[in-house]
Amino acid sequence: MSLRINVLGPLEVLRGDEIVTPSQPKLRRLLVLLAAEPGSVVRIETITRELWGTAPTDKHCRTIQTYVSQLRKVICPAGALTHVSRVGYRLDGARLDLGDLLAHRDAEEPDTSALALCRGEALADVSLGPVLEQHKARIDAIRIDVLDRYLRSCLRQERPQAVLDQADRITREDGRHEGLYTSLLLAFAAVGRRSEGIDVFHRLRRKRLDDGVGEPGPSVQAAYREVLAESPADTARLCEAPAQLPPDPAGFAGFTRELRIAEAALTGEPGAVAIVGSPGSGKSAFCARLANRVSHLFPDGQLHADLSVQNASEALAGFLKALRPDDRVPDNLHERVRRFQDCTTGARILVFADNVGDRAEAALLRPNSPVGAVLLACPSRIPVDLATTIVELPRLGTRELLEMFAFRVGDTRIEREPEEARALLTRCSGLPIAVASLASLLRRRPHWSIARVLRRVRENRLAFGDDELARSVRRVLTALGRTEREALFELVRRAPEQESMSVRWAAGVLEVPVGEAEQILERLVEHRLTDPVVTDSVSAASRYRIDPLYRSAVREIAEPATGEAVRTIRAW
């Protein structure tokens, strides 16, 4: 009669053909601890550390004697438990599945019988103490090594289907076992099952990111590129893939939560992700950071267009030149769209469109691929109907603004005037563009103190926000209808500096009915130039606020104001 103990997968103890696996938790742990070192004496100190996490006491020793007596009834006469006086216990006569696994590890090529042994994690149903945790890690490392060698052997023998037969087993494993996933992806590539390989890669990536392990390593990335390259032509295209993304912005700070949400949306189920933010809120920098973080997942290319300086037709022309440099770019928009759709069919490609103000234009730039993605930086909420995910950028807090400011002007300068720096940044309305403008001024004038800049801001003797904020606001104004634009000019000219305005007050200023005034204000909210004021009272009248920095920028654009504004609104 033989005694066999299986530690790979759930614990199983066989005495001959009879299953005699003990059920009591500590009894199971003691048996596994003795079996892990067959023929060797396991010291009393090791046993008590595993079972109770302490040094041995007389009570512990008596309890261990009771456990050993119970185990002898389970394993005898197939095996023997020997007591070595004042030292510990030794298990003899047991055969472990681990021994068979070691034989496969030492073999030149593991065969299919090795798979029966790799039936799951070691000690899957045993509660483990500190000693068994170490044994489990060692056994699992051996199991993964054998499985990995078997899979690679199958690929060398050009038997990818044998690897795919183990797909369910592989995808249940820890994402850190990259060799298994590399072999699985190569097998998918070998049989042309592209979509399944892509799905496995992205599930692995999500698993690793959720576990805090990080992006898949080079071997998995290389195998993933093999999945994407279905033919020699595809491989050639990947080698020449366009990379048009703007550089990763230096000194980027904040938006940690928003980055995590947008990255998961952009890479989990690729589609259209819209990043919405008010003028100067850092949309372009956010999207550049995001796009650079995920660029390696789009090996067929990354394309970029700024729709504030070109229209969709011009952007498509640039895309086509990058994708097919030897082909002539069609003259008309319809043909450019058709050619772009043809070039991106099934491609793992990323399009980053900045300053998107029109839904129709954004739709033209979307790649024709279920594994392609488009990232939209939107100064208004108008184009977001196209998006599968919308991420709104909040105003940044003082800590994030201070981090950006320190990167630009240096820690030493802030350490000399910490309170003045904080006070200055509170005037930035949480807008990165304002911080960048002030930092630029201080770099140009190193003899100025932060206190001097703060004083000038307080006295309105500084063109706060400089031209950058004004340009950002002007881009949004061009997307407004004439009625809303001139209404904004008039409201800024007449609105109290720090107070919110009611719809009724705005209707009086614009000389329009209350309902029309509310429509105008809501369209300004859509374009992020006004903010609704949230009140606790549901019955309170609607109120809106124009940020002081936007008010200054609009005044700079609108001056000198004319009486035509009110007449235009009244006529409308």
pLDDT digits (tens, 9 = 90+) for 440-498: 888 888 889 999 999 888 877 665 545 677 788 888 888 788 888 889 998 888 877 66
Where do we find the tokens 């000219």? 493
More confident residue, 60 or 113: 60
Mean pLDDT confidence for 246-267: 87
Mean pLDDT confidence for 316-321: 94
Q: Is the pLDDT of residue 568 over 50?
A: no
More confident residue, 464 or 8: 8
CB atoms within 10 A of CB 58: 7
Give yes or no for a contact between 288 and 245, defined as CB atoms under 8 angstroms apart. Answer: yes
> pLDDT, tens digit, for every residue of 170-212?
888 888 889 999 999 999 999 988 878 888 888 888 788 777 7
> pLDDT, tens digit, for every residue of 497-555?
667 888 899 999 899 999 999 999 988 988 888 888 876 555 455 888 888 888 888 88
Q: Domain coordinates of the chain in residue numbers?
A: 256-392, 398-464, 480-571
> pLDDT, tens digit, for every residue of 125-157?
888 899 999 988 888 888 888 888 889 989 998
Q: Is the pLDDT of residue 570 over 50?
A: no
Give the right CATH number for 480-571 from 3.40.50.300, 3.90.190.10, 1.10.3720.10, 1.10.10.10: 1.10.10.10
Give yes or no for a contact between 118 and 100, defined as CB atoms under 8 angstroms apart. Answer: no
> pLDDT, tens digit, for every residue of 32-50?
999 888 788 999 999 999 9
**How far from chain centre, in Å, is Cα 500?**
38
Instruction: Give the rounded percent of residues in the chain with a pLDDT score beyond 70.
Output: 91
Phi-psi region of 234 (alpha: psi -120 to 50; beta: other; left: phi over 0): alpha
Cβ-count burial 439-466 (b if 16+ within 10 Å, e if not) = bebbeeeeeeebeebbeebeeeebebbb
**Same CATH fold assignment for domains 256-392 and 480-571:** no
Band of pLDDT at residue 27, cut at 50, 70 and 90: very high
**How far from chain centre, in Å, is Cα 108?**
41
Q: Mean pLDDT for the chain?
A: 84
pLDDT of residue 536: 59
Taking CB atoms within 8 Å and a gap of at least 24, the contacts of 107-114 are 109/149, 109/153, 110/146, 110/149, 110/150, 110/153, 111/150, 112/150, 114/146, 114/147, 114/150
Beta strand 301-306 with 349-354 is: parallel
Positive or negative: CA dihedral 131, 136, 139, 145: negative
Q: Is the pLDDT of residue 239 over 60?
A: no
**Whole-angstrom Cα distance, residue 199 to residue 268?**
9
Where do we find the tokens 């609105």? 495
- Is the CATH number of domain 256-392 3.40.50.300? yes
CB atoms within 10 A of CB 318: 16
Give the closest residue to 172 by CA, choosing from 140, 194, 127.
Answer: 140
**Whole-angstrom Cα distance, residue 440 to residue 408?**
8
Q: Is the pLDDT of residue 565 over 60?
A: no
Give the closest residue to 347 by CA, choosing from 328, 327, 315, 322.
Answer: 322
Backbone angles phi, psi at 374, to 5 degrees: -130, 135
3-state SS of the chain: helix, strand, coil percent to 5?
Answer: 55, 10, 35
CB atoms within 10 A of CB 327: 11
pLDDT of residue 227: 85
pLDDT of residue 535: 65
Mean pLDDT confidence for 51-74: 91
> pLDDT, tens digit, for every residue of 322-343?
998 888 899 999 999 999 998 8
